[in-house]
Amino acid sequence: MVDDLLKVDNIHSYYGSAYIIQGISLSVREGEAVALLGRNGTGKTTTLKSIMSLVPPRRGEILYNGEDITGRPPYYVARKGLSMVPEGRHIFPALNVMEHLRVPVPGSETHRSILFRRVFDIFPELEEKKSQHASALSGGQQQMLVIGRALMTDPKLLLLDEPMEGLAPKAVMRVIESLKAIHAQGITILFASADLERAFSIAKRAYILEKGKVVFDLTEEHVPQSLEIQRKYLGVRE
């Protein structure tokens, strides 16, 4: 059914010879905000990278908008409307803010000035610091920059890997705010997180991963039992 914007069908992915994703299936409908939960090392990053074709799956299929994008080059996937914000920010160390926003290749006909405007509306602090070198920004500002950067491809589906990790509480609030705003604009969101509560401030649904497989399909109704789920699958909060 083309209801699903993204359909991941039983993918198996390897990092070299390490068997990381051992048969994951998930789906995301247009307009949803879904989280991938799990401890570190359970395969959240690899799942996102597989969808983005940075670590193409050896088996299985990934369908985006009905089209099979499995194994296509990452730039192709990006131009089709998927965009990824990698874990650890990954800023370009020698470029400034404006240059960061000019790098992405838009996947749609939308004029760039509109895309710039949208980013600056969501992140006014970025407009202020337009000519600043990205390496001079704080952790929180860098996170906002890379989210804004990902928006410059005019994505329909935004993937984020641990967008709140390692940030001060104020910055985390800003990130959650901005993701809500992005979601409100109709952009579908799929993000990885190790923190169930924070995840559910944005997402309505979550997949829980363990050892490279989906073990639980969580919706908002389950959240009251979250403590037990948290203890079982996500371990002690750091």
Partner 1 sequence: MVSAGLIVTQLLNGLTIGLVYALIALGLTIVLGLMGVVNFAHGSFYMIGGYITYTLTASLFRNFWVGLLFGAVVCAVVGLGLFYSIIRPLRERPPLEPMVALVGVAMIFEQLTRSFWGADPKLLPIPFGRIELNFFGYTLKYPIYFLAVMIISILLLSFFYYLFRKTDLGVRCLASIQDRETAMSLGVDVDRVGRLMFIIGMAAAGAGGGLAGPIFSVYPTMGTELIGLIFVIVIIGGLGSIAGTVMASIAIAMITSLSLIFVSGNIAHIFAYVILLVMLLFRPRGIMGFERVLE
Q: Which of residues 38 and 107 has its CB atom nearest to partner 1 in the complex?
A: 107
Smallest gap, in angstroms, from Cβ of residue 152 to partner 1?
Answer: 8
Q: How far is the CB of 204 from partner 1 (least distance, A)?
A: 26
3-state SS, one letter per residue, for the chain: CCCEEEEEEEEEEEECCEEEEEEEEEEEECCCEEEEECCCCCCHHHHHHHHCCCCCCCEEEEEECCEECCCCCHHHHHHHCEEEECCCCCCCCCCEHHHHHHCCCCCCCCCHHHHHHHHHHHCHHHHHCCCCEHHHCCHHHHHHHHHHHHHCCCCCEEEEECCCCCCCHHHHHHHHHHHHHHHHCCCEEEEEECCHHHHCCCCCEEEEEECCEEEEEEEHHHHHHHHHHHHHHHCCCC
In terms of CB distance, is 147 or 234 closer to partner 1?
Answer: 147
What is the smallest separation between the CB atom of 210 and partner 1, expressed in angstroms?
A: 26
Find the shortest distance in angstroms from Cβ 234 to partner 1.
27
Of residues 100 and 118, the one with the C-beta less far from partner 1? 100
Smallest distance from the beta carbon of 107 to partner 1, in angstroms?
Answer: 6
Query: Contact residues for partner 1 (CB under 8 A)?
Result: 52, 54, 73-75, 77-79, 83-84, 86, 90, 92-95, 99-100, 102-107, 149-150, 152-153
Q: Toward partner 1, which CB reaches closer, 190 or 208?
A: 190
Q: Which is nearer to partner 1, 84 or 172 (CB)?
A: 84
